[in-house]
Amino acid sequence: MERASARALESPSSPQRIGRRQGLKARDVRYARQVRFAGIGEDGQTRLMTGHAAIVGVGALGCVIANHLARAGVGKLTLVDRDIVDRSNLQRQMLYDEADAESETPKAITAASRLTAINSGIEVIPRVTDLNAFNVETMLASTDIVLDGTDNFSARYLLNEFSVKSGIPWIYGGAVGASGMTMTIVPGTTPCLRCLFPEPPGGGTLDTCETTGVLSPIVDTIGSAQAMEAIKLLSGRSETLHGSLLQIDLWRQQWHSLGVAGARRVDCPVCAERRFDILDGEAGFETATASLCGRNTVQVLPPRPLSLDLRSLESRLGHAGQTELTPYSLRLRLPSGIAFLLFPDGRALVMGTEDDQTARRIYAEFLGE
């Protein structure tokens, strides 16, 4: 849409007016109800159409956010996700269906094609990768806003550091059980996530969607609140942001809005002292693993990103089990029942185990250290 509106503005004679008219022609029916809303108007719509939002994690929250922003006409969406669609996702991840789970397609790819079908006028960029200290700056540098669709605090602390360092706002969101919370972080204006959560909340006892489960309506509510904040920011109405840590429990009917205006900490390592320990410090000299929530899957990351030729690996690994090569990955099904899904950057999903050591061992077996 950025391209479309740029094209419109380039048209000859009275470019501004004709551009606007052409732009409106292209979007009048589609965005009519949104443009009519006083808070958005034509100007807000034009801003939305030239905006660029990144959604990190296209699971439950990410699907809701991406769906709203695509329909609202946000010009460019970058979708970052490391996982594939699984049958256990279908209860709440609204951009996916049974065929996607059957084919185990990467979520970023599936979501991108669905969003393009919903709105062909926007640009959707899928990134099948694990966002980490190595790639976060290149991946997100050109965005206007970052939305949190992740499910863990390591990723959120990384996004928080990136946001404060780069000055790009981000919108935290999390949901588990029937409750969730969200907060909008505008660097230099609001507190950052570390001001409110100096340590990951709950530590080892933190509820996760795996231990507690999660119901679909709360995901929708929190994701919608995040999307609304993004629409406000992208349409130039930042004065209307909710300015709170919004906590909602749909099972108990509890809505709390905790004002955060005075919550900036003078000793916050990130936004006060501008120390970016995760961004600068993650040495990454060894293979890292992470268990994917509720998936019986362990992700293995090589010490540094690789550039693998999956086709030649397929012929090399063929003896070990059944292989399947797709445009995005190489799958190896081992006789033990464990499946090994390898991406070109050397990242792997070891499916059928929750044990880090087993995952590391299998990874080392096929790719060396």
Residues that bind Zn ion (CB under 5 A): 192, 194-195, 268, 270-271
* Cβ-based nearer residue to Zn ion, 163 or 299: 163
Distance separating alpha carbons of residues 330 and 343, to the nearest angstrom? 7
Distance in Å, CB of 265 to Zn ion, minimum: 6
Query: Tokens 């006789």 appear where?
Result: 335
Dihedral angle, C-alpha 122, 54, 138, 182, nearest 10 °: 170
* Cβ-based nearer residue to Zn ion, 48 or 164: 164
* CA angle centred on 169, ends 146 and 58, rounded to 5°: 15
* Cβ-based nearer residue to Zn ion, 134 or 197: 197
Catalogue the E-assigned strands of 73-232: 76-81, 123-128, 145-148, 170-176, 179-185
* Cβ-based nearer residue to Zn ion, 198 or 303: 198
* Cβ-based nearer residue to Zn ion, 58 or 164: 164
Distance in Å, CB of 277 to Zn ion, minimum: 13
Other C-beta atoms lying within 10 Å of the C-beta of residue 365: 12
Distance separating alpha carbons of residues 348 and 294, to the nearest angstrom? 17
Distance in Å, CB of 273 to Zn ion, minimum: 9
Catalogue the E-assigned strands of 230-269: 244-249, 254-259
* Cβ-based nearer residue to Zn ion, 272 or 288: 272
* Cβ-based nearer residue to Zn ion, 171 or 268: 268
Distance in Å, CB of 236 to Zn ion, minimum: 25
Closest by CA to 333, choosing from 316, 319, 347, is: 319
* Cβ-based nearer residue to Zn ion, 194 or 331: 194
Distance separating alpha carbons of residues 64 and 246, to the nearest angstrom? 17
Which pair of structure tokens corresponds to residue 334? 């081992």
> What spatial distance separates the first Cα and last Cα of the chain, rounded to whole Å?
45
> What strand order describes the sheet that includes 297-301?
288-292, 297-301, 348-351, 339-342, 330-333, 322-325
Distance in Å, CB of 195 to Zn ion, minimum: 3
Distance in Å, CB of 181 to Zn ion, minimum: 17
* Cβ-based nearer residue to Zn ion, 88 or 166: 166
Contact 53, 230 (CB under 8 A): yes
* Strands 170-176 and 145-148, sheet pairing: parallel
* Cβ-based nearer residue to Zn ion, 195 or 222: 195
Distance in Å, CB of 264 to Zn ion, minimum: 6
List of residues 6+ apart from 322 with CB closer than 8 A: 332, 333
Distance in Å, CB of 231 to Zn ion, minimum: 25
Distance in Å, CB of 101 to Zn ion, minimum: 39
Contact 302, 296 (CB under 8 A): no
Distance separating alpha carbons of residues 294 and 60, to the nearest angstrom? 13
